[in-house]
Amino acid sequence: MSKVLIVNAGSSSLKFKLFDMPKETVLADGQVERLNMPGSLVKIKYGDGKVYKAEEDKIDYERSAAIMLNNLKDLGVIDHLRDIDAIGNRVVAGSDIFDKVAKIDDDTLSQIVELGDIAPIHNPVEAEYIEIIRRILPDTDQYAVFDSAFFKDVPEVNSIYGIPYELTKKFTIRRYGEHGINHGFITQQADEILGNDKAKLVTLHLGSGASVAAERNGKCFDTSMGFTPMNGLVMGTRSGDVDPALVPFFMKKMGASADEVIDMFNKRSGLLGVSGVSSDMRDLEDSDKDRAKLALDMFVNRTVKFAASYITELGGVDAIVFSGGIGEHDKWVREQVCKKLEIFGIKLDGQLNEEQKPGDLGAKDSSARILLIPANEELAMVRDVTAKID
C-alpha cells in the first residue's frame, strides 16, 4: 500500500489528487484556481463526500503548494506529510530525451527547465512546482510523467517538418505534441471497449487546450500539435496553425520582438482573440455577437479538418473518441463535428448525445463507434508512477 500524490501544475491553476495504491482509491481531489489573480479559489474533495473551500487573493505558486500539502494533513487525509510515498508531476515537453516516466534528480530537473523552449507556458511552471515541493519534502521521491512520451512512435512521415533534414536531426525538430497522457489513456480505454488492440482511432482531446490524434495498434500515428503546443487546432487562447511568415510580418508592422509575437499567439489568440469575448466555449455559445459565432465555427472547422484527414490517413476508422472538458460536456460541439463527418458514414444518436453519458453515442447505422470517454490523466499518471516505483 502506498500513497501517491499526482500534481498537474499550470500557469493559472494547480490540480492534484492523492491516491491510495494499488487500490486506485482517490483520497483527496483538489484544485487551486486563479493563481496570481484576485479571488484565488481553493476546493478540495476528501473523505466521504466532504468538501473544503476557501478564497484568498493572489495565491502564488509557493503558497498554492503549501495549501495543497498542509490541507492534506489539516483535513485529516494523512497524518503526516511523510505519509506521502511518492509524487508524480505532469510535464508537457520531454523532447526525445524522455520517453517514459523519469525519477526527478538535479539533472532531470535541469533538462526539464531547458526544454522550456518547446513548452514555454508549461515546463517552467512545472519545474518551479517540482523545486518548491522538493524544498518542503526533500526526502520524498518525485517523478515526471511526460505528455510528449505518447507521441514517440509517430513515424517521420508525420512527425517531421519540410525543412532541411540535417537541421531536423541537428536540433531534434519534430512534432512533440501535448495531451499525450490523456490520448494514451483514452486509446487504451477505447481498445478495451472495442475488444480490439489493433483498432484505428481518432481521439479528440477538446478543452481550453485542444488536440486531435490518430492511433492504430495502440500507438500514435499522427497528432495535430507540433514542435510546441501552440500548433494545430484553434484553442482557448492559442492561435493553432499559422503561417510562420506572420512572425516577421508582425515584428515589422507592430515593432514587436519575436517573443512578443509568439506570446500573442499563445495568450491572446484562439477563441479569445477571434471572438473578442472570451476563451470559454460556454460564454461564446451564450453570446449573440457575430465574432463569437465565428470563433465557434472555426473551432469546429479545425477539429473536423484534422479528424477527417486522420480518418483518410488511417484508411478508415473504428471509433471517434471525444474527451476533455469541451469534448465531454459540450453536446453542440459533438453534434457539429459528427454532422460534418457524416460523409464517412459516422452518425451520432441525438438522444444519447443529449444524455452525454460515457460510452457509445453512435447511431445504430453509424460506420464507426462514437465514444465519450472522460479524461483521467491523474489515474494514468499514478499507474505509470506506481509501475516505476515497483
**CA 42 – CA 58 distance, rounded (Å):** 12
Q: Are 208 and 375 in contact (CB under 8 A)?
A: no
Given pLDDT bands bounded at 50, 70 and 90, which one contains residue 296?
very high
330 marked ligand binding residue: no
CATH of domain 2-146: 3.30.420.40
204 marked ligand binding residue: no
The pLDDT > 90 percentage for the chain reads: 86
pLDDT of residue 389: 84
- Active-site residue flag, 241: no
Where in the chain are the domains? 2-146, 195-372
81 marked ligand binding residue: no
Task: Tell me the fold of 195-372.
Answer: Nucleotidyltransferase; domain 5 (3.30.420)
285 marked ligand binding residue: no
225 marked ligand binding residue: no
219 marked ligand binding residue: no
Among residues 147, 222, 318, 330, the one annotated as catalytic is 147
pLDDT of residue 117: 82
**CA 180 – CA 158 distance, rounded (Å):** 16
Q: What is the mean pLDDT of residues 166-172?
A: 95
pLDDT of residue 1: 66
Given pLDDT bands bounded at 50, 70 and 90, which one contains residue 97?
confident
Tens of pLDDT along 98-145? 888 999 999 999 999 988 888 877 888 899 999 999 999 999 999 999
Element (H, E) at 331: helix 331-340
Tens of pLDDT along 248-278? 999 999 999 999 999 999 999 999 999 999 9
369 marked ligand binding residue: no
Cell of 240: 493553432
267 marked ligand binding residue: no
Average pLDDT, the chain: 94
Q: What is the DSSP string of 196-262?
A: -TT-EEEEEE-SSS-EEEEEETTEEEEES--SSTTSSS--SS---S--TTHHHHHHHHH---HHHHH
Q: Are 351 and 372 in contact (CB under 8 A)?
A: no
Given pLDDT bands bounded at 50, 70 and 90, which one contains residue 215?
very high
Phi, psi of 276 (to 5 degrees): 70, 10
Mapping DSSP onto H, E and C, the string for 361-373 reads CECCCCCCEEEEC
pLDDT of residue 13: 83
pLDDT of residue 36: 82
377 marked ligand binding residue: yes
Cell of 122: 508549461
**37-43 long-range contacts, Cβ below 8 Å, gap at least 24?**
37/12, 40/64, 42/67, 42/71
Tens of pLDDT along 2-34? 999 999 988 778 999 999 999 999 999 999 988
325 marked ligand binding residue: yes
Tens of pLDDT along 301-347? 999 999 999 999 999 999 999 999 999 999 999 999 999 999 999 99
**CA 169 – CA 146 distance, rounded (Å):** 21
**Least confident among 90-94, 191-195, 233-237, 370-374:** 90-94
